[in-house]
């Protein structure tokens, strides 16, 4: 009877679960990237500041763009003057008509260059595409720093558009069903966990800043929350039911297998 009771306890089904570091992140943020190569001159907003659509965020050093634009405008004015002069010569010398096509093409080329640089000058002053919270690092780390086109500078996130992100270590990667439950215990509020449902789990492990590899997990929060983006804690991911003996021996068996290289 004792053996049967022990066997029944060991075979009792329990939910397989793992713990992973997690945090609150923006679900659908607008990513602000560098629209051109240049040096950031100043920021018009502070980190975590609420911004409105069309509000100025930051700007690049205007000197390089302005000097190129001045040169392009002077070249355009010169090309237009040459075209007008050739057009007047056609009245007295029909042979000069052959030069008009080339000069007209040169004027169009200089107009295109000037228009491109004017667009660059406008893009060098970046504005918010939508209302939300500006998420970025210390502005002093960006000012005076050269950036390349496409480099991410900040994100604009809606205050209530929040979800859970967790990083599951490779050794703790368990099978998770669709819409598996997840609980996030924030360090700032450990007694009031946030509940959510699994949205997706990355199929490939990603390198973390500490040198380890982990699978990215995103989960949708059940209901609304007043907690702000950026708060960190511990996420508990719940999988399918397994026998209690498997739940107890999963990690030791995995360690033994790695040690024996099986």
CA distance linking residue 42 with residue 49, whole number of Å: 16
How does residue 235 score in pLDDT terms, banded at 50, 70 and 90? Answer: very high
Per-residue pLDDT, 22: 92
Domains contained in the chain, CATH given: 13-27+159-260 (2.40.30.170), 30-155 (2.40.50.100)
CB atoms within 10 A of CB 238: 17
Per-residue pLDDT, 101: 74
For residue 191, is pLDDT > 90?
no
Tokens representing 74 are 């002077």
Q: pTM, whole model, 2 decimals?
A: 0.68
For residue 14, give the nearest of 252, 249, 258 by alpha carbon: 249
Quote the Cα angle for 233-161-30, to 5°.
105
For residue 248, is pLDDT > 60?
yes
In this structure, are residues 205 and 211 in contact, taking their beta carbons and an 8 Å threshold? no
CA distance linking residue 122 with residue 167, whole number of Å: 40
In this structure, are residues 165 and 218 in contact, taking their beta carbons and an 8 Å threshold? yes
pLDDT 10s digits, 82-106: 888 877 776 676 666 767 777 888 8
């Amino acid at each position: 009877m004792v053996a049967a009771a022990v066997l029944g306890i060991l075979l009792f089904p329990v939910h397989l679960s793992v713990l992973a570091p997690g945090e609150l992140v923006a679900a659908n943020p607008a990513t602000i990237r560098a629209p051109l190569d240049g040096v950031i001159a100043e920021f018009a907003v502070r980190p975590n500041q609420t911004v409105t659509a069309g509000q100025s965020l930051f700007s690049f050093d205007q000197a390089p763009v302005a000097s190129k634009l001045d040169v392009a405008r002077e070249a355009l004015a010169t090309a237009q003057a040459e075209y007008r002069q050739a057009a007047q010569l056609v009245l007295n010398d029909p042979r000069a008509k052959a030069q008009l096509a080339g000069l007209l093409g040169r004027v169009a080329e200089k107009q295109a260059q000037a228009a491109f640089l004017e667009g660059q000058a406008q893009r060098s002053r970046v504005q918010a595409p939508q209302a939300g919270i500006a998420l970025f690092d210390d502005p002093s780390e960006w000012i005076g720093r050269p950036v390349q086109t496409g480099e991410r500078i900040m994100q604009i996130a809606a205050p209530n558009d929040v979800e859970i992100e967790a990083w599951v270590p490779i050794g703790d990667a368990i099978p998770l069903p669709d819409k598996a439950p997840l609980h996030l215990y924030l360090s700032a509020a450990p007694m009031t966990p946030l509940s959510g449902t699994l949205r997706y789990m990355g199929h490939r492990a990603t390198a973390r800043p500490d040198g380890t590899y982990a699978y990215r997990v995103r989960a949708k929060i059940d209901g609304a929350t007043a907690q702000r983006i950026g708060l960190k804690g511990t996420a508990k991911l719940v999988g399918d039911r397994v026998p209690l003996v498997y739940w107890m021996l999963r990690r030791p068996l995995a360690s033994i297998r790695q040690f024996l290289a099986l």
